[in-house]
Amino acid sequence: LLHSFNSEDIKMSAEIARLCKASLQSAMVGTDENNIQSGKDFYKFFFTNYPDLRIYFKGAEKFTADDVQKSERFEKQGQRLLLGVHILAETYANQEVFKAYVRETINRHRIYKMDPALWLAFFTVFNGYLATKTQLDDATKNAWAELGKVFNEEAQTHLKNSGLPHA
Amino acid sequence: LLHSFNSEDIKMSAEIARLCKASLQSAMVGTDENNIQSGKDFYKFFFTNYPDLRIYFKGAEKFTADDVQKSERFEKQGQRLLLGVHILAETYANQEVFKAYVRETINRHRIYKMDPALWLAFFTVFNGYLATKTQLDDATKNAWAELGKVFNEEAQTHLKNSGLPHA
């Protein structure tokens, strides 16, 4: 295949981006108190529902939702996480930029020696969180599933090309 | 002012984003040889035309364009730089995400103790590079100038709020 994207693909990725971006309006980044809270809320949801994954957060392995709420570290981390997901949605319609951001994200997480299966699992976690903020219709859920699938494909390819464990 | 953005602002930021994104087609990120070269070419242009700024690149203070060409470090750094600029253009139409990415970029550069005046100057450097890749018409040059101005305003505000030197 000389061209991996045709005009149908481009239209579809634009529609997926539109749906994901619309749903993220309920979890906006920013410096206002409600934006800061949205970021903390992700980690409160994450640590409450997936306590085993706290092992990746050195010093916070036993954090409860209350600990997250009071934490300056997770105030910052919450904004970083939300920003990362917003960037995924904002770039999805431009697949080469999206995939470059996936690779950069993988590079930045190399030091944490994550289980490679967690890259796909992340989108289940994030959608669980997002569903606490807004109603996600089926089209939006499918859009996130597709974005997560494309993210994961590029992530695993890049892990492999980098000589790292991959799923 | 209760609402800092009105529909005219939104239309204008979408048009600025469109023009910047279009010009960046000539400096695309990616894993192909021409994409890798585009990233290196930024640093070759940068170090050749602004040799005094090499001081911020520890170990590369005396790098020539030839040194950049042969460098694995600048192969990676070139992709990171191009990705960052693509993300600016991709998010510009969503100003809150754009500004969050500006703040994150400032946070990540804190360790380099940069002269705060360089944040605005960067866009002159980058446009000089981009002009070696494609013809920039006046509308596109104005779009980049406006994006750079908004970037710099948020950057200086964030530096100030972080208790750091600002311009």
- Residue B9 binned pLDDT confidence (cut-offs 50, 70, 90): confident
Inform me whether the C-beta atom of residue A36 falls under 8 Å from chain B C-beta atoms. no
**Which DSSP state fits B60?**
-
Express as a percent the part of chain B with pLDDT over 90.
93
Percent of chain B with pLDDT over 70: 97
Please report the pLDDT score of residue A1 as a whole number: 46
B110 touches chain A (CB under 8 A): no
Cβ pair B87:A97 closer than 8 A? yes
Query: Given an 8 Å threshold on Cβ–Cβ distance, is A94 in contact with B100?
Result: no
What is the pLDDT averaged over residues A140-158? 98
Contacts of B96 in chain A (CB under 8 A): 28-30, 35
Amino acid at B49: N
Is B95 near chain A, with CB under 8 Å?
A: no
Q: Which of B97, B98, B102, B161 should we substitute to test contact with A (largest number of A Cβ atoms within 10 Å)? A: B97
A10 — pLDDT class (breaks 50, 70, 90): confident
At residue A36, the pLDDT reads 98
In whole angstroms, how far apart are CA A81 and each of A108, A128, A157, B47?
A: 13, 15, 22, 33
Condensed to tens digits (0 to 9), the pLDDT of residues A58-70 reads 999 999 999 999 9
The neighbour count for residue A82, using CB atoms within 10 Å, is 25
Whole-number average pLDDT of chain A: 95
Q: Which residue of A has its CA nearest to B158?
A: A31
Q: What is the pLDDT of residues A70-115, one digit of tens each?
A: 999 999 999 999 999 999 999 999 999 999 999 999 999 999 999 9
Q: How much is the average pLDDT of B96-109?
A: 98
Give B162's DSSP letter: T
- The residue written with tokens 């949605």 in the block is A89
| Cβ pairs bridging A and B (under 8 Å) | 60
pLDDT of B106 strictly over 70 = yes
Mean pLDDT for A121-133 is 98
What is the end-to-end Cα distance of chain B in Å, rounded?
25
Give the distance from residue B90's alpha carbon to the nearest chain A alpha carbon, in angstroms. Answer: 6
* A30 lies within 8 A of chain B by CB: yes
d(CA A130, CA B163): 33
Residue A20 corresponds to which tokens in the numbers above? 């994901």
Instruction: Find the farthest-apart pair of alpha carbons in chain A and give their distance in angstroms, rounded.
Output: 53
Nearest CB partner across the interface for B101, out of A83, A100, A103? A83
**Which of B95, B75, B16, B87 has the alpha carbon at shortest distance from A99?**
B87
Which pLDDT band, with edges at 50, 70 and 90, does A7 fall under?
confident
> Nearest-CA residue of chain B relative to A92?
B90
- The answer to whether B29 contacts A94, with C-beta atoms less than 8 Å apart, is no
Mean pLDDT (chain B, rounded): 95
Q: Does the predicted interface ipTM exceed a cut of 0.90? A: yes
Residue B3: pLDDT over 70: no
pLDDT digits (tens, 9 = 90+) for B51-91: 999 999 999 999 999 999 999 999 999 999 999 999 999 99
Matching residue, tokens 């070269």 = B37
Split at pLDDT 50, 70, 90, the class of B1 is: very low
Does residue B4 surpass a pLDDT of 60?
no
